[in-house]
Amino acid sequence: MKLFKNDSTSERNSFISLTFLNVYGKIWGCQFSPNSVTSEALFATCGGYSCCVFDALTQDCIMKFEDGNKRDEFYALSWSFFEDYGDLILAIAGAMGTIHTLNLVTRSLYQTFTIPTKVRKSVYTLLFDKENPSLLYAGAASGKIYIWHVVPPSYGCEEPSLLRILSPGNKETIRSLTEISEGCILASYDNMLMCFKAKCSDKTLNLQGPVGVGIKTEENFIDSVVYVDNFLAVKTSGEDYISVFTLPPLDPFPNKRPIQFSFFNTLRFRKASREDVFMDGSKDGSRIVACGDDEGTIWLYDMKRLELEGKKELVPDKHLQWPKVDGINSLDEDCCINRVCFSPDSRYIVSVTVNNLVCLWAHESLDKK
């Protein structure tokens, strides 16, 4: 694992690049920990047969996990913090349909379990429920959603329980799972969105839905969805814009009728030659959406401006250009950003690429301290 420092600060954006991390392999996922038992700002990346956990404050790799057989390809990850126990775990999964959970307190493998299917189906997305940290949703290439109950390590060594398998009736690949309100999960398929609501008490799952969402595409598939403060940004492959919708009230949950999201506006983007470029939204109430492209640029949008711009298409507030650093000639290579993620306080952004590079960005106010 190589570490490169970027000392160029000639162009002072709101975010500046701090560090490059080279993890040797195409990187498909990244996500910050929602909380921690220490002062660390932890984020994880996954790709190939490995997963790495870094501390953004020190840029150190504090844990690395590898598939023992070196045959898996990890695509998805999700964190869960059990406040009552002080436990922090990370779930990862990928091409083999096997889910691993890592204990970040002991920095060791916690549990391994596999989705029950006769034919192995890739898991492209994972999501721990924010309100119930024991609920883990796994979206598979088969179009099914597996809902697991995972106990915290301090509770004991109880095996994860498979509570339900959701099969909406289509076999499209599930691209992402997004929590849009308490217990309401939005599943993004190739050409449509589905929504369901889940509550769990002592392994008893109360499930409503899934129901359809009035957003469909015909030719291009939905490759990314992000929810920021009642705005839902939906990115489809091959388009030069990102559609923005507003959400209707979801309490009570419309258990039998489709949910109609209202189109609001579009965000100007650049048509990319690659697919599956995933967005993320800020977590601190600042309402910023970030999206990478296939030239190494991160597009930042201030969603607060949407209500002020009226029907005018919203242009990005800033472009974070891929930095030039001695020792990395990345712009002459494939520099597609697969995913970006914000830290919980939105002071850091991580972007990961297909050319095995992780770039850590920090808000310029941190650089002045």
In tens, the pLDDT along 220-275 reads: 788 889 999 889 999 988 888 999 998 888 888 887 788 888 899 999 998 776 66
pLDDT of 102 reads 96
pLDDT of 112 reads 94
Distance between CA atoms of residues 152 and 170, nearest Å: 33
Distance between CA atoms of residues 358 and 136, nearest Å: 26
Average pLDDT over residues 179-208: 87
Q: How many CA atoms lie within 13 A of 251 on its CB side?
A: 6
Provide DSSP, 57-76: TTTEEEEEEE-TTS---EEE
CA-nearest of 208, 192, 212 to 253 is: 208
CA-nearest of 286, 276, 269 to 349 is: 286
Query: Is 90 exceeded by the pLDDT of residue 103?
Result: yes
Distance between CA atoms of residues 121 and 144, nearest Å: 10
Cα torsion at 101, 211, 246, 317 (round to 10°)?
A: 40
Query: Is 60 exceeded by the pLDDT of residue 367?
Result: no
pLDDT of 239 reads 86
Distance between CA atoms of residues 16 and 367, nearest Å: 8
Distance between CA atoms of residues 66 and 64, nearest Å: 7
DSSP 8-state class, residue 278? B
Q: Which of 66-80, 172-186, 211-225, 286-300 has the lowest mean pLDDT?
A: 211-225
Beta carbons within 10 angstroms of residue 114's beta carbon? 12
pLDDT of 104 reads 93
Which range has the top average pLDDT, 11-15, 37-41, 90-94, 170-174?
Answer: 90-94
Close Cβ partners of 303 (under 8 Å, ≥ 6 residues apart): 228, 229, 231, 233, 244, 281, 287, 288, 289
pTM value > 0.85? yes
Beta carbons within 10 angstroms of residue 264's beta carbon? 18
Two tokens, residue 166: 């959701």
DSSP 8-state class, residue 158? P
Close Cβ partners of 71 (under 8 Å, ≥ 6 residues apart): 49, 96
Distance between CA atoms of residues 359 and 21, nearest Å: 6
What sign results for the dihedral spanned by CA atoms 306, 307, 309, 311?
positive
Average pLDDT over residues 175-194: 88
DSSP 8-state class, residue 305? G
- Report the DSSP beta bridge partners of residue 98: 114
List the 29-32 sheet strands across, edge first: 29-32, 42-47, 50-55, 60-66
Average pLDDT over residues 36-62: 85
Query: Is 90 exceeded by the pLDDT of residue 39?
Result: no
Distance between CA atoms of residues 47 and 354, nearest Å: 9
Q: Which band of pLDDT confidence, cut at 50, 70 and 90, is reported for residue 40?
A: low
Burial 201-219 (b: 16+ CB within 10 A, else e): eeeeeebbbbbbbebebee
Average pLDDT over residues 128-153: 92
Contact present, 76 and 84 (Cβ < 8 Å): no
Q: Which helix (H) or strand (E) holds 364?
A: helix 364-367
* Parallel/antiparallel/unpaired status of strands 123-128 and 108-114: unpaired
Q: Which band of pLDDT confidence, cut at 50, 70 and 90, is reported for residue 138?
A: very high
Average pLDDT over residues 315-335: 70
Q: Which of 13-17, 58-62, 173-177, 280-284 has the lowest mean pLDDT?
A: 13-17
List the 222-228 sheet strands across, edge first: 222-228, 231-236, 241-246, 262-268
